[in-house]
């Protein structure tokens, strides 16, 4: 593995295990087997390292999610497609997804929150977009797209967190089609009642 990728992998492990603020540049460099000048050459700073890590781990996820954020066939199928991207990507890269979630709870002026804010906002915007497109066939929505998006994302983020705590998250998590459909059915029951 080349130095740049080794630094990113070590940083992800350390940030996931102990949090961004608890990990220093020296520790990342020691674990990666590189010098500080090498790390600074690639990333400029610890914050630059975090930004690169988030872009590398979440950029493709957001692209896939944006393709799934459109109404197709039925509300349940559209929500299933969107949720599948979230669950499959989070399952395959659990540490990065959980890092994103944990950073989203940082103090609002903290640099870590500023780094993750565009990703959190984009995920939310895509969920709202999906509910906006589904509004004509969901008669009970009545302008509650934002509320539905929050509840939907909350359900799946909590499920991801819970499943990772039950298993060895470093191995990732796998969500069956049956479980995905069950979660969508549960959500639909809640909004249709």
Cβ contacts of residue 38 below 8 Å, gap of 6+? Answer: 3, 7, 29
Pair 80, 168 in one domain:
yes
What pLDDT, on a 0 to 100 scale, did the predictor assign at position 101? Answer: 93
pLDDT tens string, the chain, 193 residues long: the values are 699 999 999 999 999 999 999 999 999 999 999 999 999 999 999 999 999 999 999 999 999 999 999 998 899 999 999 999 999 999 888 899 999 999 999 899 999 999 999 999 999 999 999 999 998 888 777 788 999 999 999 999 999 888 877 666 566 678 889 999 999 998 888 776 6
What pLDDT, on a 0 to 100 scale, did the predictor assign at position 143? Answer: 84
Kindly state whether residue 49 falls inside one of the protein's structural domains: no
Pair 90, 163 in one domain:
yes
Pair 77, 154 in one domain:
yes
* Distance in angstroms (rounded) separating the CA atoms of residues 37 and 29: 9
Kindly state whether residue 52 falls inside one of the protein's structural domains: no
Maximum distance among all Cα pairs of the chain, rounded to whole angstroms: 60
Range of the domain at 149: 57-192
CATH of the domain at 40: 1.10.10.60
Kindly state whether residue 93 falls inside one of the protein's structural domains: yes
Question: Is 38 strand, coil or helix?
Answer: helix
The predicted model scores a pTM of 0.90
Mark 31-57 as b/e (b = at least 16 C-beta within 10 Å).
bbebeeebbeebbeebeebbbbbbeeb
What pLDDT, on a 0 to 100 scale, did the predictor assign at position 82? Answer: 96
Pair 38, 62 in one domain:
no
Per-residue CA distances from 36 to 3, 6, 23, 45, 185 (Å): 12, 13, 14, 10, 51
What pLDDT, on a 0 to 100 scale, did the predictor assign at position 112? Answer: 93
The structure tokens 């967190």 sit at 161
């Amino acid at each position: 593995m080349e130095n740049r990728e080794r630094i990113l992998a070590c940083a992800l492990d350390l940030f996931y295990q102990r949090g961004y603020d608890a990990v220093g540049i020296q520790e990342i460099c020691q674990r990666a087997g590189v010098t500080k000048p090498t790390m600074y050459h690639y990333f400029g700073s610890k914050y630059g390292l975090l930004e690169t890590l988030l872009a590398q781990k979440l950029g493709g996820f957001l692209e896939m999610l944006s393709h799934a954020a459109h109404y197709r066939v039925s509300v349940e199928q559209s929500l299933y497609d969107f949720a599948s991207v979230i669950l499959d990507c989070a399952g395959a890269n659990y540490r990065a997804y959980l890092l994103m979630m944990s950073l989203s709870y940082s103090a609002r002026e903290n640099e870590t929150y500023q780094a993750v804010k565009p990703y959190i906002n984009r995920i939310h915007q895509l969920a709202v977009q999906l509910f906006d497109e589904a509004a004509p066939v969901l008669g009970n929505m009545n302008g509650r797209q934002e509320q539905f998006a929050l509840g939907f994302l909350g359900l799946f983020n909590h499920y991801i967190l819970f499943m990772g705590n039950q298993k060895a998250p470093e191995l990732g998590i796998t969500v069956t089609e049956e479980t995905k459909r069950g979660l969508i059915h549960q959500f639909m029951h809640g909004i249709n009642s």
